[in-house]
């Protein structure tokens, strides 16, 4: 891996390069996505089936588009019993974590006759997109579906690509069943996002679309925002390991590659105060590449977006981590809990040598749908909050309004909104 000394100039160059992976940087794909969206919006199922045949090689009909109960039962026979148990245990951890995020409606009253509050209402229908291209992600099913279920969403619709025979990966189906998906449709890509956003004769229109996908899925979600809500426009996967001289170089190298294997645009960065560790990690990376299966993808990822950054001291290392605002941040330092207090920007923070990033991907409980491309500076992981909406509640008695009505009238007149002032004044015009 290339090693670069941290300066304000090199940090800026790296940030600029990382941001070029943003879904906003693909005008040609954006044009193609808009065409797909418009075709599905106007032609519905006809366009959906046409694109599914074109891109996935599967000829589907309204009768075969939805996964059946028999297909779900068959999936359990095709998946190893041990994996089914692991999925169930992971689901329990994820559910337990997200149940702590649940909010309740609240109200406060005062003696003068007022009631103020906030009403929490689950979304009615949510669409969950689950990728099925370069890898299969039953973990994404759990991470997207369980917060929605905990929030109380009544109808959870899942879209995932099928193969040429019209079959969906059985592990994905098992995860969907365990998580409580309401219905599953065999569709992928921008056309699936369009079908859930606009609705077709077969696919119901949803209120929100969540879940990761390739650049076409990301651009489609971006384009339909406003017709429906979305979780985020996700970019490629990222990891940043902040390590000092005491870190285990083999662990660091393994964790960097755990994200580099996602795709060629994934980013893997080590920030360290130790040149010796930097050299050791680079050697370990080369060793792992010789024997891991997705070598070509990892090599391209590291060539384009892999760095070892040498910082002068821990303060500069932390400043660099906050500037990059990585999706995943591992703290392999002497006192990770102390360093954590200085971290402002990260999607998920992993503390110590045994809190490896894949622990968060699969099993620990916190959500692995995280902000990317520097958006951890202002976005949060997917949570129960993403599947509810909040309504303010206001009640004033006549006596309570009378006590302050002249204040409101004065405020409205100051803004030259006479109808606002009149709306209050008319209630007391007899006096």
Q: Which residues are annotated as a binding site?
A: 129, 191, 214, 237, 259, 262, 328, 361, 415, 420
Do residues 10 and 324 lie in contact, with contact meaning Cβ atoms separated by under 8 Å? no
Planar angle of CA 42, 44, 47, nearest 5 degrees: 95
Where is the binding site for Zn(2+), in residues? 259, 262, 361, 420
What is the number of alpha carbons within 13 Å of residue 239 lying toward its C-beta? 28
In 3-state terms, what secondary structure has residue 135?
Answer: coil
Where is the binding site for NAD(+), in residues? 129, 191, 214
Tell which residue, 53, 65, 181, 192, has the closest CA to residue 131: 192
* Bridge partners for 136 per DSSP: none
Tell which residue, 9, 29, 53, has the closest CA to residue 265: 29
Structure tokens at 403: 């006590």
Helix pair 249-260, 275-289: axis angle to 10 deg:
50
Q: Does residue 327 carry a catalytic annotation?
A: yes
**Which residue in the block uniquely carries the two structure tokens 């390590």?**
243
Among positive and negative, which fits the CA dihedral 79, 85, 91, 94? negative
Query: Could you say which of 98, 264, 319, 328 is catalytic?
Result: 328
Query: Could you say which of 261, 319, 327, 357 is catalytic?
Result: 327
Cα(363)–Cα(171) distance, rounded to whole angstroms?
16
**Which residue in the block uniquely carries the two structure tokens 């979304």?**
123
Cα(327)–Cα(387) distance, rounded to whole angstroms?
21
Tell which residue, 413, 414, 415, 416, has the closest CA to residue 425: 413
Where is the binding site for substrate, in residues? 237, 259, 262, 328, 361, 415, 420
Among positive and negative, which fits the CA dihedral 223, 228, 229, 235? negative
Cα torsion for 68, 70, 73, 77, to the nearest 10°? -120
**Which residue in the block uniquely carries the two structure tokens 């041990």?**
82
Which residues are the active-site residues?
A: 327-328
């Amino acid at each position: 891996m290339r090693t670069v000394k941290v300066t304000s100039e090199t940090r800026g160059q790296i940030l600029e390069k990382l941001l070029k992976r943003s879904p906003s940087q693909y005008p040609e794909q954006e044009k193609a996505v808009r065409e797909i969206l418009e075709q599905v919006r106007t032609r519905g199922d006809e366009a959906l089936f046409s694109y599914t045949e074109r891109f996935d090689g599967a000829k589907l009909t309204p009768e075969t588009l939805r996964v059946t109960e028999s297909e779900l039962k068959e999936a359990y026979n095709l998946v190893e019993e041990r994996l089914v148990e692991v999925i169930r245990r992971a689901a329990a951890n994820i559910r337990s974590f997200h149940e702590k995020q649940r909010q309740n409606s609240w109200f406060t009253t005062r003696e003068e006759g007022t009631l103020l509050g906030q009403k929490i209402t689950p979304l009615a229908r949510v669409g969950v997109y689950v990728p099925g291209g370069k890898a299969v992600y039953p973990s994404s099913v759990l991470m997207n579906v369980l917060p929605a279920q905990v929030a109380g969403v009544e109808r959870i619709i899942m879209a995932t690509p099928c193969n040429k025979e019209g079959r969906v990966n059985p592990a994905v189906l098992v995860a969907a069943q365990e998580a409580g998906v309401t219905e599953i449709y065999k569709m992928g890509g921008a056309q699936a996002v369009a079908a859930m956003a606009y609705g077709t004769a077969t696919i119901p229109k949803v209120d929100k679309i969540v879940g990761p996908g390739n650049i076409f899925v990301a651009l489609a979600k971006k384009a339909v925002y406003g017709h429906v809500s979305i979780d985020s426009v996700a970019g490629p996967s990222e990891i940043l390991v902040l390590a000092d001289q005491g870190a285990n170089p083999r662990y660091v190298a393994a964790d960097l590659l755990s994200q580099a294997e996602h795709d060629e645009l994934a980013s893997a960065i080590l920030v360290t105060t130790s040149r010796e560790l930097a050299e050791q990690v680079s050697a370990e990376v080369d060793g792992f590449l010789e024997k891991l299966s997705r070598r070509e993808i990892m090599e391209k990822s590291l060539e384009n977006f892999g760095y070892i950054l040498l910082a002068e001291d821990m303060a500069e290392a932390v400043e660099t981590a906050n500037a990059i605002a990585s999706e995943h941040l591992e703290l392999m330092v002497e006192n990770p809990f102390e360093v954590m207090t200085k971290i402002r920007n990260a999607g998920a923070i992993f503390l110590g040598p045994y809190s490896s990033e894949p622990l968060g991907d699969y099993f620990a409980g916190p959500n692995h749908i995280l902000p990317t491309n520097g958006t951890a500076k202002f976005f949060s992981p997917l949570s129960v909050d993403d599947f509810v909406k909040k309504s303010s509640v206001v009640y004033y008695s006549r006596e309570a309004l009378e006590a302050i009505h002249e204040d409101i009238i004065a405020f409205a007149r100051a803004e030259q909104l006479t109808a606002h002032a009149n709306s209050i004044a008319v209630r007391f015009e007899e006096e």
